[in-house]
Structure 1
């Protein structure tokens, strides 16, 4: 018979999972930010592969950090993140096809798992380096792949389309996605609450004082995020 996990141990393990999740999410945002700042297709392909790897790791730690989460269609967030990772790798492959560093298969070779329209859209993406045309292809693919991967997974293609559209008109890169920013703040709050509980030998007054200090730090972090990124995030939607 399995014994229930000690509540303190469960709290610490979830806190560690959320810390790791926040770390990965922050690295992923930096990767997307760097992607938006380059026009070198070889570099784009490498950054997309990095983003795919970080997203796969987010999928692995998601349930431990946040528990099971499902969208309106009943698909788990873990499945959505794995789908995002797969789509990022597909877009990376089109970047390598554009530069000629890797061949792109004929649409007829895609097999039964991809519809004729989807295979044609991926092939169009692999045959153009022009940002405006790539943005159009990515929006088209978002609609097509959502049928199999779900809307949350396909949403990553919308983010990539915005980056390509920005390149087409030479505008500033899109702001970091608010979804990750909110997760990072929640993880920080969780860590702040867990630290006083986990430190042994503290009096009630000391715990209360430590909670107050950590609460002030978290509040300051939220304020900085709002002033430096929150308004950009809301205006980019």
Structure 2
């Protein structure tokens, strides 16, 4: 029976979680497995991996073949390196010594990767800083423009109000002038009427005087 070491999926939608299992190569992907050899959580920051190293080495010794993904995980965790040492015929003491050296190399590699990531984040912040400054300047310009527009609107409103007041004042003055003219016209009419009355009275007196004179003469 050909045996493979591969992943079988657990978890829920968009939250995958995997078991590392030994299975019959003819079995379906998420079907029955022979033995559970560990777990793999890709969503954790450092890719959390838990391995039963002794059982994985057992299955490698009997000819189990890891898939590419599992091979990458085992290589990162040092299991394949240890398997190579076994294949070279090293004894347990020599293997333990070589694994200590490998742990030092792994630690240095992790520190280097962390340093590279820190540099990338610093560069990203430097790139973001000018963009943020430009956004702030743009916002300041927009606010200043809005203030100018508001001031202009206020000036226009004040001008409109002043114009309305001036027009109202002009109309009031026109009404007063018209009323004054009407009063003058009425006064002139009254004077003309009074003059006419006086003239008519004088004429009647003259007529009456003439009549009296005619009577005397007769």
TM range (shorter): under 0.3
TM-score between both structures, scaled by the size of structure 1: 0.23
Q: Which has the higher contact order (CA 8 A, sep 6+)?
A: 1
For the pair shown, the structure with the greater C-alpha radius of gyration is 2
Structure with more of its chain in helix, by fraction: 1
